[in-house]
Amino acid sequence: MARIIARLPRPDDPVRTTALTLLVIAALCAAWFGWSWYSAAHDEELAYSRTREEVLRTGEQAVQNLNTLDYRNIDAGLKVWLDSSTGDLNKQISGSRTSFADKVRQARTVTSARVLESALTELDTRSGKAVIMVALQITVTPQEGKAVTKQSRMLGELTRTRAGWKLSALEPASVGDTGGAPAQ
């Protein structure tokens, strides 16, 4: 014990005392910041928040995709629709693809959508289901004539698939709708 005490800096050596004090403070700070970083990196709420942002971003894009179509490139547009959907919605698009494409080609319209606002109203990561409400500005431009712009609210259900989150249902949101799951 006497040897350890003999090695400790003497109060009359202020440089060594200051250096030792700074070393102890630096070690404590490093331990605290390390623990804080580890806690934040493994926080379940942070992981949930990241998933929520991913689902919201994916849902916005999928709803926008399913409200955008150009008669001059209908096959590519409908492929995007199919790639953005799953389940019954995907089957519905596949089943009516040919007749729908013929109608759009005949009408010669270009429809484009832009997301104005969106919100996830439900997210269940365990079951892989989410509900999104999206406010859109939809512009329909005929080959001849003026473009018509309208605003619309859509309610969509997303389902987690092996390829990521995709729309499994989509319908117009009625006035007073609070964002529950859309009818299937």
Inside any domain, residue 180: no
The DSSP line for 95-147 is HTHHHHHHHHHHHTEEEEEEEEEEEEEEEETTTTEEEEEEEEEEEEEESSS--
Distance CA 23, CA 61 (A): 52
Number of folded domains that form the chain: 2
Q: Coil, strand or helix: which one is 76?
A: helix
Range of the domain at 164: 52-172
Q: 57 or 21, which is more confident?
A: 57
Q: Are residues 106 and 130 in the same domain?
A: yes
Q: In whole angstroms, how large is the CA radius of gyration of the chain?
A: 29
pLDDT band, very low/low/confident/very high, at 19 (cuts 50, 70, 90) = confident
For position 13, what pLDDT does the model report? 77
pLDDT band, very low/low/confident/very high, at 54 (cuts 50, 70, 90) = very high
Q: 5 or 125, which is more confident?
A: 125
Inside any domain, residue 46: no
Q: 46 or 75, which is more confident?
A: 75
Please check the confidence at residue 2 and state whether its pLDDT lies above 60.
no
Q: Are residues 102 and 24 in the same domain?
A: no
Pairing relationship of beta strands 69-70 and 148-161 according to DSSP bridges: unpaired
pLDDT band, very low/low/confident/very high, at 9 (cuts 50, 70, 90) = low
Q: Are residues 22 and 112 in the same domain?
A: no
Q: Are residues 26 and 111 in the same domain?
A: no
CB count within 10 Å of CB 95 equals: 10
Distance CA 131, CA 136 (A): 16
- CATH assignment at residue 157: 3.10.450.230
